[in-house]
Structure 1
Amino acid sequence: MKIVFMGTPDFAEPSLQALLDAGHEVAAVYTQPDKPQGRKQVLTAPPVKELALKHGVPVYQPATLRDEAEQARLREIAPELIVVVAYGKLLPGAVLDIPPRGCINVHGSLLPRWRGAAPIQWAVIAGDKTAGVTTMQMAEGLDTGDMLLTYETEIGERETAGELFDRLAVAGASLLTETIDRLSDIVPRPQDDSQSCYAKMLDKQLAVIDWTRSAREIDCLVRGLNPWPVALTLLAGERLKVYSVTPCAGCGAPGTVLQADPKAGLTIACGEGAVHLDEIQLVGGKRMKSEDFLRGHQVTQGSLLGI
């Protein structure tokens, strides 16, 4: 089938590769413009662009698809189907109407739960027991189209958003090829809007740990924000990144250091229960176990963490 693929981050790479491996004609790839990254702000191509160029697929990076010239180019390419995986832009109706077999989206959640930009991370932050991927027919709303196929999996007790992200990227690619193979036979299912919730974009303000929350909630937050933007607190006035914690027994005023032992590490009181800080990093320093951290930093039992 002649397909135009629209996607940007590494989550979309397995889906593009799966289309190529299945022998589909990927006539063009649309992705976000190159962006400056890192401390040196080096202009960097999106992962999907790099993969497309590796396979000799033409790449387009328009600032918007509402431009009539861009829409005319898509009509000239004349895809039978448009596939969208984490593209990062809404498709206007004029684009949705171009391919005769419609537009299919691969979304990293069990729709209608977690519509929006960061569904995998929010599933972990919210403490969901399961997550998944949904393929759907695209409509003009945000992740509101009729559902086609769904893949569901349990979220591991200690699984981070990054680990789940990698698993669902692979599962989404498999679900996409199955959806295309069965496209003529699948009966689309409307979403129940009353069951929907929104996965807003992550930001650094969300990363600040509220120690009045329960140990379980803080654990979910830390795992959901790993590998980005990483949960954050203050230790003696310095920003401390928290990559991993383990809920444990303990009580005290929220944010109180209950234990600071180079052999046993750091334990912090929460609104309910406590957490052991497994992996931490002072901003600008090295990531390490809290036991190792305490061999080089003085932390007083009874002191308070928090911003």
Structure 2
Amino acid sequence: MSKTKIIFMGTPDFATVSLEALYENNYDIKLVITQGDKKRGRGKKLQYPSVKQEALDLGLEVYQPKDINSKESIEKLKNISPDFIVVVAFGQILKKEILDIPKYKCINVHASLLPKFRGAAPINHAIFNDEKETGVTIMEMEEGLDTGDMISKSSIPILHEDDYISLHNKLAKLGADLLIKTIKNIKENNYKSIAQDDSLSSYASMIYKSTGKINWNNKGKDIINLIRGLVPWPVAHTSYKDINFKIYNATIVDKISDDVPGKIVKVSEEGIFINTCDSTLIIKELQFPNKKRMSVENYLRGNNIEVGIKLE
């Protein structure tokens, strides 16, 4: 019996876990398609997307088209004649001509419980919105943005201690496991597609550096969720005496001062206490420019933070 032929499309770390699962489960991965290499870091060195590096490590063929919908790309995919096209955080919209290529389906692994949080940043937005659970949905792809019929779902709770990194890693594994089960069920015709209810949909917009700017007039819990949702990038940030610094970890307590939001009301080894509109936020871990990420306790050993300064 011939192996199931797969074309895999994906780009970031999240997608590598699904690619590994397909490889480990003995699927015939004919081609791995990913976005182009990008210059990153201070030295602006050209770096491979995570999926490209993983594919090369596994000895798989990699293809990086500028436009997946170009005539050349479509011909390349048709010549493979795949059973499935699997898409995990690829980053380009597929036209119907591609969606119609596979023998079975073109399926997408999406990191939310659709129709909630369609779009580019579902994990971040689940944390921002203080969701109590999230999960992964595998859908049959159509030309709309994350609007296809749902084939399978799996959910997990969002724990109080979860940040973007921990939730990303859990969902990547959850999605990979669900992908393997779903492909098997589709081949055996043991599934039922469910249309999404568009009236329940929400959109998870892209994350930018500016997303991390803290508004101290917001509720403390909302600021905490912003901090949790933006580690490791771009990281929530604010300004002290016109110096922008990043906040990696914080907690909230009942308001200890009637001062205005953003005002530093206390500084101790426990942290930097900042007023919000309804509570006091305690910064526990931070990073100033040209310094390492560190606890406030360690930072205060060689630096001074003044009570009474208003963060902007």
Distance in 2 of aligned mates of 1:165 and 1:206: 18
Q: Which amino acid aligns with 2:140?
A: Q
Q: Which amino acid aligns with 2:243?
A: E
What residue in structure 2 maps to residue 248 of structure 1?
253
What residue in structure 2 maps to residue 208 of structure 1?
213
What residue in structure 2 maps to residue 272 of structure 1?
278
List runs of 5+ in structure 2 lacking aligned partners: none
Contact kept in structure 1, 2:18 and 2:172, CA below 8 Å = yes
What residue in structure 2 maps to residue 198 of structure 1?
203
Matched, 1:218 2:223: yes
Distance in 2 of aligned mates of 1:264 and 1:172: 38
How does the TM-score come out when normalised to structure 1?
0.98
List runs of 5+ in structure 1 lacking aligned partners: none
Contact kept in structure 2, 1:266 and 1:291, CA below 8 Å = no
Please report how far the alpha carbon of residue 265 of structure 1 lies from its aligned counterpart in structure 2 after TM superposition.
2.1
Contact kept in structure 2, 1:27 and 1:58, CA below 8 Å = yes
Q: Which amino acid aligns with 1:215?
A: G
Query: Deviations for 1:123-173, whole angstroms, at most 9, x for unmatched residues?
Result: 001111111100010000000000011111111112101110011001100
Q: Which amino acid aligns with 2:264?
A: V
Alignment match of 1:258 (pick from 242, 259, 265): 265
Contact kept in structure 2, 1:260 and 1:294, CA below 8 Å = no
Residue 15 of structure 1 aligns to a residue in which SS?
Answer: helix
Please report how far the alpha carbon of residue 50 of structure 1 lies from its aligned counterpart in structure 2 after TM superposition.
1.2
What residue in structure 1 maps to residue 165 of structure 2?
162
How does the TM-score come out when normalised to structure 2?
0.96
Q: Which amino acid aligns with 1:169?
A: A
What residue in structure 1 maps to residue 29 of structure 2?
26
Please report how far the alpha carbon of residue 51 of structure 1 lies from its aligned counterpart in structure 2 after TM superposition.
1.3
What residue in structure 1 maps to residue 293 of structure 2?
287
CA RMSD of aligned residues (A): 0.9
Contact kept in structure 1, 2:270 and 2:284, CA below 8 Å = no
Distance in 2 of aligned mates of 1:236 and 1:292: 20
Distance in 1 of aligned mates of 2:216 and 2:303: 22
Aligned residues: 305
Please report how far the alpha carbon of residue 237 of structure 1 lies from its aligned counterpart in structure 2 after TM superposition.
1.2
Distance in 1 of aligned mates of 2:71 and 2:91: 19
Please report how far the alpha carbon of residue 52 of structure 1 lies from its aligned counterpart in structure 2 after TM superposition.
1.1
Distance in 1 of aligned mates of 2:212 and 2:271: 22
What residue in structure 1 maps to residue 309 of structure 2?
303
| Equivalent residue runs for 1:1-307 within 5 Å | 1-183=4-186, 184-250=189-255, 251=257, 252-261=259-268, 263-306=269-312
Query: Deviations for 1:63-102, whole angstroms, at most 9, x for unmatched residues?
Result: 0122111101110111111000010111111100111212
Distance in 1 of aligned mates of 2:252 and 2:157: 20
Q: Which amino acid aligns with 1:151?
A: S
Please report how far the alpha carbon of residue 274 of structure 1 lies from its aligned counterpart in structure 2 after TM superposition.
1.0
Identity %: 41
Q: Which amino acid aligns with 2:267?
A: A
Residue 73 of structure 1 aligns to a residue in which SS?
Answer: helix
Q: Which amino acid aligns with 1:150?
A: K
Residue 202 of structure 1 aligns to a residue in which SS?
Answer: coil
